[in-house]
Amino acid sequence: MRILQPLLVCLVLAAFGCSDRTASTRVKDDPFLEAPAHLSYNIEVLFTDSSYTKAILTAGEARLYEDRQQTTLSNGVSVDFLSRTGIGPAARLTSDSALVDDRTRDMTAIGNVRVHSDSSATTLTTKRLIWVNSTQKIRSDAYVRIVSPTETIEGIGFESDQYLTAYRIFQVRGVHRP
Cβ count near 74 (within 10 Å): 17
Asked if 79 and 55 count as a contact pair (C-beta separation under 8 A), the reply is: yes
pLDDT at 31 exceeding the cut of 60? no
> Nearest to residue 140, comparing CAs of 126, 121, 122, 152?
126
Class of the CATH-defined domain 36-140: mainly beta
The domain locations on the chain are 36-140
pLDDT score for 89: 76
Q: Which helix (H) or strand (E) holds 140?
A: strand 137-147
pLDDT band at 174 (very low <50, low <70, confident <90, very high): confident
| Res. 15 pLDDT band, cuts 50 70 90 | low
Looking at this protein, which amino acid is placed at residue 35? Answer: A
pLDDT score of 145:
95
Mean pLDDT of the region 79-92:
79
**Banded pLDDT at 87 (limits 50, 70, 90):** low
Say if CB 164 and CB 124 are below 8 A apart: yes
> Using 50, 70 and 90 to split pLDDT, how confident is the model at 47?
confident
Cα 142-128-135 angle, rounded to 5 deg: 95
Q: What are phi and psi of 80, to 5 degrees?
A: -100, 115
Share of the chain above pLDDT 90, in %: 43
- The 8-class DSSP code of residue 105 comes to -
CB 95 within 8 A of CB 115: no
Q: Could you report the per-residue pLDDT of 115-137, keeping only the tens digit for each?
A: 999 888 899 999 999 989 888 89
